[in-house]
């Protein structure tokens, strides 16, 4: 039986400095939380895993709206990527965090990624992201595609 085709053609991984829980303040500034926005010809859906719930929202914007640019104008770091089908094997058990939700949704099987900063660094290693260091914060300034399963 073959795997169904992916309906999501685009994905935005959005990183923020939001730290609603005290222990999150221990994480690197600007990379204390992450969430995922999936795009298709039908529009955008946001998946945001928090400590107490997962928020799923259909975003009221057109499919061709520059959502990545909109997030960037609000001071968030955005990595533009695409989901891939992961190999069909069980992944290791991990705590359910925002990072784990993003990894599993995108087909990233790297078990050594636990924090939003590590996830961001994964994308910078696996792509041609250009980093612009302004005021100590790395900002994604080029489009990249994630192709590793």
> Regarding predicted confidence, which is higher, 11 or 135?
11
- The angle that helices 116-125 and 98-106 make with each other, rounded to 10 degrees, is 30
Residue 19, in any domain of the structure: yes
Residue 149, in any domain of the structure: no
State the DSSP H helix or E strand holding residue 36, giving kind and residue range, or none if neither. strand 33-40
Query: Would you list the DSSP string of 53-102?
Result: -EEEEEESS-TTS-HHHHHHHTT-EEEEE---PPPSSPPPP----HHHHH
Does this model's pTM top 0.85? My answer is no
Closest CA to 37 of 94, 97, 105, 96: 105
User: Model confidence over 50-59: pLDDT tens digits?
Assistant: 878 899 999 9
Q: CA 90, 24, 35, 117 torsion: positive or negative? A: negative
Enclosing domain of residue 61: 10-140
Judge whether residue 145 has pLDDT over 50: no
User: Model confidence over 3-28: pLDDT tens digits?
Assistant: 444 577 889 999 988 777 666 667 67
Total count of domains within the chain: 1
Residue 73, in any domain of the structure: yes
C-alpha 31/C-alpha 57 separation (Å) is: 22
Residue 5, in any domain of the structure: no
Residue 27, in any domain of the structure: yes
- In this structure, what token pair is assigned to residue 148? 């590793």
């Amino acid at each position: 039986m073959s795997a169904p085709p992916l309906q999501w053609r685009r994905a935005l991984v959005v990183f923020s400095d939001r730290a609603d829980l005290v222990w999150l303040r221990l994480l690197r500034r600007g990379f204390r939380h992450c969430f995922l926005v999936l795009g298709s010809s039908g529009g955008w859906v946001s998946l945001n895993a928090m400590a107490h719930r997962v928020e799923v929202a259909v975003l009221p914007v057109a499919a061709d709206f520059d959502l990545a640019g909109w997030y960037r104008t609000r001071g968030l770091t955005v990595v533009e990527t695409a989901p891939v089908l992961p190999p069909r094997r069980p992944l290791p058990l991990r705590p359910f965090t925002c990072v784990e939700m993003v990894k599993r949704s995108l087909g990233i099987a790297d078990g050594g990624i636990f924090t939003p900063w590590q996830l961001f660094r994964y994308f910078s290693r696996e792509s041609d992201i250009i980093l612009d260091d302004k005021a100590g914060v790395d900002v994604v300034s080029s489009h990249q595609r994630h192709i590793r399963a």
